A = this chain, B = another copy of it.
Amino acid sequence: MAIAAQHLRARFARPGFELFDHRIFALVSDGDMMEGVASEAASLAGHLQLGNLIYLYDDNHITIDGSTAITFSEDVCKRFEAYGWHIQVVEDGNDLTAIGSALARACAELTRPSLIRVRTHIGYGSPHRQDSSEAHGKALGAEEVKLTKRNYGWPTEAEFYVPARALAHFRQARDRGARWEAEWNGAMERYANRYPQEAAEFRRMLAGELPSGWDEALPEFTVKDNLATRESASRAQQAIAARLPELFGGSADLNESTFTDVKDGGDFEPQNYGGRNLHFGIREHAMCAALNGMAYHGGIIPYGSSFLVFTDYCRASIRLSALAGLHVIYVFTHDSIGLGEDGPTHQPIEHLTSLRAIPNLVVIRPGDANEAVQAWRVALTHRGGPVLLALSRQKVPTLDRAAMAPATELSKGGYVLCESAGKRPDIILIGTGAELHLAVEAKTVLERQGAAVRVVSMPSVELFAAQERAYQEAVLPAAIKRRVAIEAGASLSWYRWVGSDGDIVGIDRFGASGPYTEVLKYFGFTVENLVERARRLLAG
């Protein structure tokens, strides 16, 4: 959120119009301090000199299993100082004056994020639970609530009791908030008069509306283009980025391989918050968590890139984007054993399946350059949740769309790519990604041998599953039971679509290191093997 705020401020603030100088406050716990993702984020925030970010650290010394003394004896303030943060300590969490002063100093600090360590007591005022882990995991219970209220000097009878002074205090906040909002809106009106174009763009971006013509320069590829889908997707992204200033993001130290750096976009760095390319460092989890923050903030369509296998590092944040319905775009390349030499540690096997299993996440694995373009189109137009692109490292042929269905059909998730020349198909071959062309080539071989073959491209299982039953039936008719799916990933994804009588050319073991052509051949991702498996079904 702090990143998004700095970026929008750099883009839209004008002399006399400091409309975008809001701050991001976070309440953080011992658990947040221990989790690795928070360490990554704090290191990045310090590096980026995010002076608009302020943490209040609720330092209560208690976790679920007991005192933090049993697990956590580091010097948190010193650690954050090492990250480049501004540090303050408030020794008494009930000293509102001290907290107020610390917050004021934190707000005055413009070039460092702020940590305010506040010593608090969990279950404060509860005679038997204060400073105990029981106050974390369990409700106090009626009797202890009563004792606690007595301890506060409160009436013990009312189940929900708010002291009159507290109510009055918080009601002030309501009025003050309304006044501040009106002031801001007034200033925004004056800004809009003075800078109508900027204001219109800001409002459009905040509303999440795409500008007209955003997709006019999308590339079209021909059969002459023999490109990795990471490359064709990158060209699509560049064409979009040129017309869509809110497309903002970066890579976890793999721009050299994922090709997601926006050309001439500038780097987002302390001296240039207007830059659109954020170098996240080797911090996949903080990257994806930050993408969620940017999407929550609004005004930005955030994307992040890495290798598909590294989704394991940031899965918790990918899941949150799906749960929260955030418009986040993930670009994960090197999407199979087809990446070659880096070997099993870098070769995803189960990742496509495990990502498809996340509710409300749309996974797209485009099968050629033109599908990659359409994948980016879906990534921008899809609403209500994140979209993840899985892209190849290795080159794949661009399919001859003159003789096949158009790549725009990708928006339906699955579609008949090439039909069996007027005849009822004997068999359906289903392919995705870099293996799709193998299905097309196998069709040619099988038809030479007399079989009628339909090829279905299925770049997104989720989008296909969301289609009406009639469309699904048209693409995969129940009566055609001979089906073979081919994908260089776990076969678990495909039983649903090939059915009891079908077959799957997948990979259910860890990969191997070698030139990618050899590795793919070794594991059976060849026209020959696909033809052979199809022939077995046809004979059976």
A residues with a Cβ closer than 8 A to B are 30-31, 34-40, 43-44, 46-47, 63-66, 70-79, 81-84, 133, 137, 251, 253-257, 267, 269, 279-283, 285-286, 310, 312-313, 315-316, 319-320, 322-323, 344-345, 349-350, 353-360, 478, 481, 490, 492-493, 495-496, 499-501, 508-510
A499 B500 Cβ-Cβ under 8 A: yes
Partner pick for A323 among B44, B499, B510, CB 8 A cutoff: B510
B319 A71 Cβ-Cβ under 8 A: no
User: Inside 8 A of A78's CB, which chain B residues have their CB?
Assistant: 78-79, 81-82
Query: 26 A-B pairs, CB-CB below 8 angstroms?
Result: A34-B40, A34-B43, A35-B282, A36-B36, A36-B37, A43-B74, A44-B71, A46-B74, A47-B72, A63-B253, A63-B281, A65-B279, A71-B279, A74-B83, A75-B81, A75-B84, A78-B82, A310-B316, A322-B510, A349-B357, A349-B359, A350-B359, A356-B492, A357-B492, A359-B510, A495-B495
Please state the number of chain copies in the assembly: 2
A100 CB to nearest B CB, Å: 28
A70, B82: Cα distance in complex, Å: 17
B65 A255 Cβ-Cβ under 8 A: yes
A360, B84: Cα distance in complex, Å: 43
B360 A350 Cβ-Cβ under 8 A: no
A323, B509: Cα distance in complex, Å: 9
A66, B65: Cα distance in complex, Å: 43
User: Inside 8 A of A63's CB, which chain B residues have their CB?
Assistant: 253, 281-282
A70, B501: Cα distance in complex, Å: 54
Q: Which 3 A-B pairs have the closest CB atoms?
A: A36-B36, A354-B354, A71-B281
A78, B267: Cα distance in complex, Å: 28
Partner pick for A500 among B75, B312, B493, B501, CB 8 A cutoff: B501
Partner pick for A495 among B31, B312, B496, CB 8 A cutoff: B496
A282, B495: Cα distance in complex, Å: 38
B36 A283 Cβ-Cβ under 8 A: yes
A349 CB to nearest B CB, Å: 6
